Amino acid sequence: MKDIIVGIDLGTTNSEIALYRDGRPEVLADDAGRVTLPSVVGISDDGALLIGEEARNQYLLHPERTVRSVKRRMGRDEKVQLGDREYTPQEISAMILRRLKEIAETRIGQPVRKAVITVPAYFSDAQRQATREAGEIAGLEPVRILNEPTAAALTYEAGQHEGKGTAESLGMRCWQGMTGRVFDRLGIKDGMGFAPGGDRGRGVEPKH
Amino acid sequence: MNESLKQSLVEQFRAHLDTLDDDTELEMMADADAIADADADTGTDLHSLYIEMAALRSEVRTESRLVKDTLDLVRDVVGRAETERARVAELEREAALLKPLLIDLIEVRDRLAAGVAGPPPTAAASPWYRRMLRGADTTADAWREGLRMTLNRFDRVLRERGVVPVDVVSKPFDPRLARAVGTAADAGLENGIVMQEVRSGFLWEGELLRPADVVVNKTSQ
């Protein structure tokens, strides 16, 4: 069976998993038809692991056993408290990635082992390495860690004429992605990305 | 050989056989089988071979029939599985199309429910409204009753479509069914009990369509 490579947007607020098939990218939905998975992990009253919307639902009530925005801690040498245990940011991210992997496997009907994971253009080497480790913990081989604006530009170039805040001048494009809490930008010329930059606090959603 | 001699030899052989015990008899039978096997090893009995071949051919034919029946059964099962998978995929497609519509309908229902629960428009409150209702045979109660009837009709349609409200009030908070949008403290209540439903949640054919927004008791704030 041919290996499938999925694309994962491991976001600060929400995460998504997509597959390129039949000539176009398709964001895969879970059983409930939801295409975005809140990047939130929690432990319920009965000790069950909650990932996504269910974890977000209990955040206000049980912030001590709910973790969100773990992406902002990636690459740092610190632990994240979740219930009675401590986890590394990579382990928490791996839980989200594992859930996304399950969604894809259910939707596609075959195992998923390889993924391209996107990260903000401003991510350091340590943060990229932590993202790679999270993928490996989740049972995925991260074949590429891709800058988010590069991924957006590639999607645009593939004929999907939809983008987030695009600008074009002198044959050079500047891609600006403004998602939950991150403002991201990258210059593109001749299919190559350059001058990545951005701001973590300039997204549409305020910092908490 | 004359008859009397033959008779005499037979009598002697019979007398000899009578003297033999059961064990000796069994040994002789085994010897006879061994001799027959030896004969079979040393020579080819075409008649026996033909019989064996015929039996073998019959057996192969029977086995072939069994294999064919099994293959037909497997094909039938695979065909049914394909049909079922296509049916499930079709249902999923329909559900995916219907779900956003149902959520939108529930939003409209929320407005109706808010209208029924809220205060009715009063003629005294608005001169414009008073002018609009001039001569009309209506009252605040009739207005509210009309809204209630519409709401009931709405709920019935939703129920017929398998959409039912989630029952969460006075029960332990379940993040799979409800979203905590606020907390309140009531020492008389157990911690984690849903005190108020700010917005109703709904299930569709047993699956969550929309979580309820709830206020939960949290005494240890």
d(CA A205, CA A91): 25
pLDDT in tens, B113-151: 888 887 766 655 567 766 766 655 566 777 888 889 999
> Does the pLDDT at position A199 exceed 70?
no
pLDDT at A3 (0 to 100): 82
SS3 A137: helix
Cβ pairs A/B, distance under 8 A: 39
pLDDT in tens, A121-160: 889 999 999 999 999 999 999 999 999 888 887 777 665 4
pLDDT at A207 (0 to 100): 42
CB contact under 8 A, B183 and A60: yes
H helix or E strand, kind and range, residue B99:
helix B46-117
Q: Please identify every stretch of chain B with a pLDDT value under 50, giving residue numbers as ranges.
A: 221
Mean pLDDT of A176-193: 55
pLDDT at A202 (0 to 100): 52
CB contact under 8 A, A61 and B183: yes
Burial class (CB in 10 A: 0-12, 13-18, 19+), B176: middle
Instruction: Kindly state whether A33 is in contact with chain B, defined as any CB-CB distance less than 8 angstroms.
Output: yes
pLDDT at B130 (0 to 100): 66
> Does the pLDDT at position A100 exceed 50?
yes
Q: Which residues of B touch A33 (CB under 8 A)?
A: 95-96, 99
CB contact under 8 A, B176 and A54: yes
Measure in Å the smallest separation between the Cα of A139 and chain B Cα atoms.
26
Contact residues, chain B to chain A, C-beta under 8 Å: 95-96, 99, 172-173, 175-176, 178-183, 192, 207-208, 211, 216, 218
- Which of B92, B179, B208 should one mutate to test binding to chain A, selecting the residue with the greatest count of A CBs within 10 A? B179
Q: Can you give the three-state secondary structure of B165-186, one letter per residue?
A: ECCCCCCECCCCCEEEEEEECC
Long-range contacts from A194-201, C-beta under 8 angstroms, 24+ separation = A196/A121, A196/A122, A196/A147, A196/A149, A197/A121, A197/A122, A198/A120, A198/A121, A198/A122, A199/A122, A200/A72, A200/A120, A200/A122
pLDDT at B66 (0 to 100): 95
Mean pLDDT of A165-180: 45
Please state the ipTM of this predicted complex.
0.71
pLDDT at A140 (0 to 100): 95
d(CA B214, CA B200): 8
d(CA A68, CA A47): 18
Select from A44, A53, A60 the Cβ nearest to the Cβ of B180.
A60
* A residues 50-79 closer than 8 Å to B (CB): 50, 53-61
Mean pLDDT of A93-112: 95
Mean pLDDT of A159-172: 44
Who has greater pLDDT, B170 or A181?
B170
Which structure tokens are listed for A94?
């791996």
Burial class (CB in 10 A: 0-12, 13-18, 19+), A120: buried
Highest mean pLDDT among A20-34, A96-110, B124-138: A96-110
pLDDT in tens, A37-50: 999 999 998 889 99
d(CA B154, CA B114): 14
Which amino acid makes up residue A190? D
Residues 6+ apart with CB under 8 A from A47: none
pLDDT at A201 (0 to 100): 53
Measure in Å the smallest separation between the Cα of B158 and chain A Cα atoms.
18
> Does the pLDDT at position A178 exceed 90?
no
CB contact under 8 A, B178 and A57: yes
Which amino acid makes up residue A32? A
